[in-house]
Chain A
């Protein structure tokens, strides 16, 4: 144990055993900062939606600014969700086939959720 097993180049590249480096860590935090601001807008918008009937809610989300922010919100939240659930599965699911199945299922569900939500917002914004 006198010498580190990694070559100096490996340390310099900083990519670690999974060869992803700190990519996961960074993306999780960047989406977190995005969600910090977007969530405040989201809560404000939900309160406004609750005051409105169907037409009012539809018109509110159809406004270009709100539509763009809603798309940003759903993309950021599903991305952040995938990253977070991935770590939970990595930590607690130790049966290999189940771990892989869950990891892929989480990615599929999060992507489909984001895609469906973006399509819904586009339909609302373009007035169907």
Chain B
């Protein structure tokens, strides 16, 4: 969609997929997803302030299939964005830039985000005995 036609550098379709680019793309994607999730947080707080009936409506939505799928996605998005954000902050002060470290830390973030998500949902289901 550029306003003026000009030569472009090679883009996604050219490169072989590798963990370095995937973690970067997923960081953005989870950031956008979390932006939408933050709106739900705002609605939940407004409902909690408004009274038991509006709060019950939010609870009903969160316990529905769509709500659970969204919440599960947001949990993983938060876990991933948080852990990958730490990786980026460490890189900002110059740590972990060797290719081997970069690849290892990237996979570490992906694995840890999945473990963290599983742990959180185990907590949710064990303390409630099902949704």
Contacts and interface: CB of A to CB of B under 8 A. Distances in A.
Contacts of B89: 29, 32-33, 36
B127 interface: yes
B45 A74 contact: yes
A57 B39 CA distance: 19
B55 A54 contact: yes
A128 B49 CA distance: 7
A80 to B, nearest CB: 9
A36 B55 CA distance: 27
Given A32-B85, A84-B31, A88-B32, A58 B48 contact: yes
Nearest to B116: A43
B32 to A, nearest CB: 7
A103 interface: no
Interface residues of A, number: 35
Nearest to B39: A113
B35 A70 contact: no
Query: At the interface, is chain B mostly helix, strand, loop or mixed?
Result: helix
B82 A81 contact: no
B41 A123 contact: no
B124 interface: yes
Contacts of A70: 45
A94 B1 contact: yes
Q: Most A CB atoms within 10 A — which of B32, B41, B78, B88?
A: B41
6 contacts: A36-B86, A43-B78, A57-B48, A58-B48, A77-B41, A85-B31
Interface of A: 29, 32-33, 35-36, 39, 43, 47, 50-51, 54, 57-58, 61, 70, 74, 77-78, 81, 84-85, 88, 93-96, 113, 116-117, 119-121, 123-124, 128
